[in-house]
Structure 1
Amino acid sequence: MQSTSPPEAFPAQTPAVAQIFTTVLSHGPLTRSDVADRTGLSAAAVTKAVRPLIGAGYLVEDTDDAPRALGRPANPVRVDAGRAFFVGVKATGDELIGVLTDLCCRIRVARHLPLTAPAPGAVLAALAELVGELLTEATEFGAPVLGVGLAVSGDVDRAEGVVRYSPFLRWRDVALAELAATTTGLPVTVDNDVRALTVAEQWFGAGAGLSDFALVTVGAGIGCGLVVHGRVVAGAHGVAGEIGHVAIDPAGPLCRCGNRGCVEAIAGESAVLDRVRAATGTPVADTAEALALAHGGHPGARQVYADAGTAIGRGIATVANLFGPQRVIISGEGLAAYDLFAGQIRDTFARYAFGSAARCDVLTRPLPFEEWARGAAATAIQSFIAAPTPPRRAPAAAPRAPHATGTRAHA
C-alpha cells in the first residue's frame, strides 16, 4: 500500500473551482486579479474559490511585499506541484512508456516496458507491473498517486473508458478503463493518444494561452488533436480530427481504413517505407534506412518524402480551412524526416489554405515518446480536477519490473 496519507480532499469541484485551478496550473503564479481577468469571473468568485484550494494545500500563496488593492490579497498563488502525483502510460504496439508526474505534470520518473503480446490480458499484466514500479518510486516523493492516464491510438471513447478500435494493438471494444482500474486500484482515464498529447500542449506546451489550435502528429499514423474555443474537441463519436483519413487522391494507394489516397496512406510511416522500397528497389528494413537513402540523394526516396510532405500540407490546410486555428503544431516521430518535406508542407499549405486561414502559424515541435505518456498523465489530472468526488482507493505496489528501463528526475 502507499505509505503516505492521502491529502485533504480537493474542494467541491464546481465549474468555477475547476476553471480557476486549471488557469493557475497553466499560467501561474497569478494574483487573484490576474485570475479574474483570465477567467472572466468576478473578484469575489475568485477569492471564494481560491480560499479552500489554499486551505486544502493545492494552491499556495507566495508572500512578498506586493501592494494590496482594495483590501484583497495581491500576492500571487501557484499550484503546489508536490501535493499529488499521477501516472501516465502510452501504449504502442510493442511497448508501454510510463511516467510519474507531479500535479504540474512535470515528469519525475520515466520507464519503458516491452510488451510480449498486444492482447488485452498481456497489456494489463505489463501495465500492473509498470504502474507498480512507478508507485514504488512515488513513495520517495512523499505524496500519493491519485490517478492513472492511459493513451492509446485509434478510436477511444473517453467518457465510457472503452477502446473502440486500436489498429496497432488490434483491439476492438475493450473496456480498458474498468479493467485497468481493477488491475491498478486507481482511478483510470483512457483517451486517444493524440488528444491526450493535445491536453498537455494546451496546458503546458505550445498551445498554452491559445483558444484555438491544432496538433498534427506525424509517425506511424497521421493524427490531429483540435482545441476550439478553449476545449479539446472529440466530436459526437470521438473521432474528430482524423485528418489521416482525409482522402486527397481518389486514385492513390489503398489505406488500412479501406479507402484510397488518404493522407496516412501517403505519409504514414509504413506507407513511406513501402513506397521507398518500390521507388528504389531496395528492401529497406526501417525508417532509419529509408532516411539514409533519401539523405544520400536517391531521387526515388527523396520523391517519396516530398509526396509525404505534400499530403501533410493538404491535411493541415484542410484543418485550417475548417476550424481556423491560431496555430498548427506539427510533432511526432516522423519529424526525423522534416528536412526532407518541410518545403512541401509549407508550399502546399499556402496553396490550399483559403484566405485568412493561411495566416495560421505552423510550428514544428519535436517531442520524445515520454511526452505522449505525459499527455496521458495530463488527462488523469484533468479528470481529477473535474471529478465529482476525490479518488479514495490506495493501490498495492506491484513488484519491480527488472527488465524495464528508464530515467529519473528529482525536483
Structure 2
Amino acid sequence: MLPTPRTERFPANTPAASQIFTTVLSQGPLTRLEVARRAGLSPAAVTKAVRPLIEAGYLTEGADEEARPALGRPATLVRVDGGRALFVGVKVTGDEIIGVVTDLCCRIRLVRHVPLTDRDLGAVLAAVADLVHELRAEADEADEGGAGVHGLGIAVSGDVDRGEGTVRYSPFLEWRDVPLAELAATTTGLPVTVDNDVRALTVAEQWFGAGAGRSDFAVVTVGAGIGCGLVVHGRVVSGAHGVAGEIGHVTVDPSGPPCHCGNRGCVEAIAGDAAILRRIRETTGLEVADSAEAARLAHSGVPGAREAYARAGEAIGRGIATVANLLGPELVIISGEGLAAYDLFAEQIRDTFAAAAFGSAARCDVRTRPLPFTEWARGAAATAIQSFIRADS
C-alpha cells in the first residue's frame, strides 16, 4: 500500500514571500531589516510575509543571545525551523542509487546506498520506491515532531526537462523520453521533482553551500561526464530546452576524438573518464582497467598517461573559459569524482583558463570543492525543497 501523499501547502503564496523565505533559508538567521535589504523589499513587505510563516511554524523569531551588545537589547533574528519538514533526495548513477533524508535546511539526517545492477526503467523505479519507503519509515520513527516527508527529488545525468519531469536522454542510464516525475510519484506517493544531477548540485550550492549569497557563479563537474550548472542573476539557469550549461559538449578541438553526442572534440570526449582511459590505452598499449589505475600510471611518470591528463586539463580549462567569457561569473566551483586525480591536470586547467579567458573574465575565482555523491543526493533534496517553497519553480 502506498503512503498517503502529503497535501500541505507552503504558506508563502506570493513571489515576495517565497523570496523572503528563501533569503532567510540560505543566508539566515537575519534581522527583519537585513532580510529586507538582501531581498530588495520594503520592511513592510517583510513583516507581511513573515507573519503567516511564523504562524505556520516555518520561521521562528527570537533574540540573538550570542551577539548581545554591550548596551541595549540583543538583536531579534528570523530563522528557519529546519525540523518543520523533511525531504528525500535520490541520486541515480549508472551502478548505484544514493538516497538521503534532509530537513528543511537541507541538513542530512539519513543516508543509504543501494547497488544498481539493472538499468531497466522498471527495475530502477522499484529500487527507488523501496529505498524511499525505507528512508521514510526510518525518518518517521526518529522524528518525534511528526514533520513528515513533504517531497522527493531525483537527480540523474543527461538532458532533463524539470518543468515536465521528463528525462529526455540519459546516456549512462540509456533512457530516452522517460516521464520520471510522474512514474516516481505513482510508485512513492510523494510530490516528485526531477532534475539534471549537476543542476541539482548547483541548487544546493546556491542555497546551502559555497554559492550562498552570490548572484552569478557556476559549478563544473569532472568525472564520468563533464557537467556545468549556472546561476545567473540569482537563478539556476536551464535554458529554453533544459540544456543550458552543457560545456561537456562544447567543441574545443574540431579534429579531436568522436563524442557520443555525435560531434568531435567535445570537452567530454577529451576529459571524461572514459576518454582519458581510451587515450592512455592508445598511446601506451597498456590495458588500463579503471580511472584509479590510470591515475597511478600518471603519478608514476608514464608519459602517455601524463599526456592524457594534461590534454584533459587543457580541454576543461577551455570549457571553463567559455563559461567565463559568455557569462562573467564571479566564481566557478570545480567538483566531481574526477577531483581524485586533480593534481594531474590542475596546472593545465589554470594555465589554459588564464590564456583563453578574455579581459576581466580572467578575474573569475576558480576553486575546487570535493563533493561526494551523497552531496549530489542532497542536491536532489534541495530541488524538492525548492519546488515546495516555489510553486512556480
Alignment of 1:372-391 (within 5 A): 372-387=376-391
User: Quick one: distance in 1 between partners of 2:273 and 2:62?
Assistant: 48
Amino acid at match of 1:289: E
Aligned counterpart, 2:363: 359
Is 1:290 paired with 2:291? no
Query: Hey, what does 1:327 align to over in structure 2?
Result: 331
* Match status 1:92 vs 2:93: yes
- Counterpart in 2 of 1:316? 320
Does residue 344 in structure 1 map to residue 348 in structure 2? yes
Question: Matched residues in 1 for 2:6 and 2:281: separation?
Answer: 56
Give TM-score scaled by structure 2 length: 0.94
2:15 aligns with 15
Task: After TM superposition, list the pairs within 5 Å mapping 1:182-201 onto structure 2.
Answer: 182-201=186-205
Query: Residue 175 in 1 paired to residue 176 in 2?
Result: no
Distance in 1 (alpha carbons) for counterparts of 2:90 and 2:386: 15
Deviation for aligned residue 1:51? 0.8
Distance 1:251 1:85 in 2: 50
Q: Aligned match of 1:158 in 158, 162, 172?
A: 162
In the alignment, structure 2 segments of 5+ residues that lack a partner are 69-73
CA offset digits 1:48-105 (Å, max 9, x no partner)? 10011011000011235799xxxxx951011001111000000111111110000000
What is the aligned partner in structure 1 of residue 71 from structure 2? Answer: none
How far is 1:175 from its partner?
A: 0.3
Q: CA deviation at 1:8?
A: 6.8
Asked whether the 8 Å contact 1:309–1:344 carries over to 2, the reply is yes
Q: Choose between structure 1 and 2 for higher RCO, CA contacts under 8 A separated by at least 6 residues.
A: 1
**How many residue pairs align between the two structures?**
384
TM-score between the two structures when normalised by the length of structure 1: 0.90
Q: Aligned partners of 2:191 and 2:314: how far apart in 1?
A: 42
| Deviation digits for residues 188-218 of structure 1 (CA, Å, limit 9, x no counterpart) | 0000001000000001111111100011000
Matched, 1:135 2:140: no
**TM superposition outliers: structure 1 runs of 4+ over 6 Å:** 1-8
Q: How far apart are the structure 2 equivalents of 1:122 and 1:350?
A: 46
Question: Whole-Å Cα distance in 1 between the matches of residues 3 and 60 of structure 2?
Answer: 24
**What does 1:9-408 correspond to in 2, within 5 Å?**
9-63=9-63, 74-139=75-140, 140-142=142-144, 143-387=147-391
Q: Do 1:219 and 1:268's aligned partners in 2 also have CA atoms closer than 8 Å?
A: yes
Residues 316, 349 of structure 2: 8 Å contact kept: yes
Q: Give the Å deviation of 1:277.
A: 1.3
| Closer/same/farther in 2, CA of residues 82 and 307 from structure 1, 3 Å limit | same
Cα drift, residue 276 of structure 1: 1.2
8 Å Cα contact 1:4-1:144 kept in structure 2:
no
Q: Deviations over 1:204-246 (max 9, x none)?
A: 1111111000110001100000000000000000000000001
C-alpha distance 76-351 of structure 1, shift in aligned 2 (>3 A): same
Alignment gaps of 5+ in structure 1 = 68-72, 389-411
Alignment identity in percent?
77
